[in-house]
Amino acid sequence: MDAREVLARVRDARGLTAEQADWFARGLASGEVTDAQAGAFAMAIRLNGLDAPGRVALTRAMRDSGQVLHWDLPGPVVDKHSTGGLGDSVSLLLAPALAACGCYVPMISGRGLGHTGGTLDKLESIPGYRTDLTVDELQKLVRETRCIITGASADIAPADRRLYAIRDVTASVESIDLITASILSKKLAAGLEALVLDVKVGSGAFMKTMDQARALAQSLVSTAQGAGCMTTALITDMNQPLGCSAGNALEVLEAMETLTGTAVNQALWDLTAALGGEALALAGLAADADEGAQKIDDALETGRAAEIFGEMVAALGGPLDFVERFPDRLPAAPVMREVRAAGTGFVAAVDAEALGMAVVRLGGGRLKNGDRINPSVGLSELVMIGERVSPDLPLAMVHAATEAEADRASAAVRAAYTLADTEPDEPDLIYERIG
């Protein structure tokens, strides 16, 4: 078998066999497949698509191109993945809550992409927190603390690492088949027994419409199930930020306030409970998702989830007293600026992507590879759809490094809000379950 045989098959829309997918993934990982061949492969799939068996074959092959973790633990190994949004710090609540309910959670996460925040970037705002664990370190710490949130090592799904870089420069990122294989190859390499997916839809999501979000959710669920992992997906709202903060340290602060009960963000709590309930039901630790959600509620209410989060932070090099002293341990921006509304009315719509890009331009994300992130900048106290505002009331608080950057961000925030004279209906938090 050679690359030309595989390329001809996907070029002519004749599918992809398991043997061909295995050969191509190994070639991506080893370098036997050239950049030109990898680009042709990605573009052929982008244009022609794959059928369900082809998606499963590609996902399994990319998963198996590197190290696949195997566990011998007294509880189920589970995880969650979000397709990305704004103000979404659910992972920081959900991983320790699942651990408190008897799960083991090796959460391999990523960095910010475009206007969306990355879990690793958020956690790296905690002084000393390590996200570069080896596979051996990950397995050891998961056994000891039950949950670890870290980045993917070079040994995990190397074929995806190579193909993703090629897709980025060949205009082939927007392919449900390739997105599915990319997400799941890394997740399933962690040796999961169950996976719950949070597929975002709306102005701040990559999938702007329900049809797009549903297609991705169905592809992810059916492919993961086909690859042997029990999976469900929730399609959730991203027509406005999930939390009231956007920016790395600010989102950690909001998550910690919710974990410790000092200032609970109800949307973060409710989505954490819903996703966690699905995961516990899949893992056999709850009779159904409703019972599972009640167990997640209990883990949050009792403080057990916060305790486990603190143990994880300490195990990964962060402050030993982080849960008790998190406001003092997180970096703060030198400039804070209230953004006031241009008029009076109800918030009718929010351009969440524009808010995300405002955070990126403050230095809270990357405009290009290699950009350094300022963990302290961002937005807080964001007003949500349905709230009444006026020139006397702030839309948000800008946290910036300089006055000039605060000026630019303030203008971007003001432009991202649409006001109306009548109170609109608030969007649902969860639209649909796929499973």
Q: How far apart are CA 62 and CA 64, in angstroms?
A: 5
Catalytic residue among 182, 185, 223, 272: 182
What is the C-alpha separation between 398 and 379, in angstroms, rounded?
5
153 labelled catalytic: no
DSSP alpha helices (H): ranges in 261-317?
Answer: 266-282, 289-301, 304-315
Q: Is the dihedral of CA 24, 27, 28, 33 positive or negative?
A: negative
Q: Which two tokens stand for residue 22?
A: 């295995």
- Tell me, what amino acid is at 5? E
Query: 426 phi and psi, to 5 degrees?
Result: -75, 140
**Tokens linked to 165:** 């870089």
Query: CB–CB of 115/204 below 8 Å?
Result: yes
Check if the beta carbon of residue 59 is closer than 8 Å to that of residue 223.
yes
CB 407 within 8 A of CB 388: no
As given in the structure block, the two tokens for residue 345 are: 């009315």
> Would you call 125 a catalytic residue per the annotation?
no
Cβ atoms of 106 and 69 closer than 8 Å: yes
**Catalytic option among 59, 82, 175, 180:** 82
399 catalytic residue (yes or no): no
Distance between CA atoms of 178 and 388, rounded to whole angstroms? 42
Q: Which H helix or E strand runs over 388?
A: strand 388-389
For residues 16 and 9, what is the distance between their CA atoms, to the nearest angstrom? 7
Measured CA to CA, the distance from residue 185 to residue 98 in angstroms comes to 22
CA 226/CA 377 separation, integer angstroms: 42
Active-site residue, 82 included: yes
The radius of gyration of the chain from alpha carbons, rounded to an integer in Å, stands at 21
Catalytic (active site) residue 70: no
Which entry of 89, 91, 109, 119 is annotated as an active-site residue?
A: 119
Question: Which residue out of 55, 146, 167, 329 is catalytically annotated?
Answer: 167
Tell me the sheet residues that pair with 194: 78, 230
Catalytic option among 46, 55, 146, 186: 186
From the candidates 46, 60, 63, 81, give the one annotated as an active-site residue. Answer: 81
Does the active-site annotation cover 119?
yes
Residue from 46, 80, 146, 399 carrying the catalytic annotation: 80
Reported as half-sphere exposure (CB side, CA atoms, 13 A), residue 216 has a value of: 29
Q: Do the Cβ atoms of 319 and 329 come closer than 8 Å?
A: yes
Which position among 22, 64, 79, 237 bears the catalytic label? 79
Q: Given 60, 63, 187, 399, which residue is catalytic?
A: 187
- Residue 245 annotated in active site: no
Q: How many helices (H) and strands (E) does the chain have?
A: 17, 12
Catalytic positions, please?
79-82, 119, 167, 182, 186-187
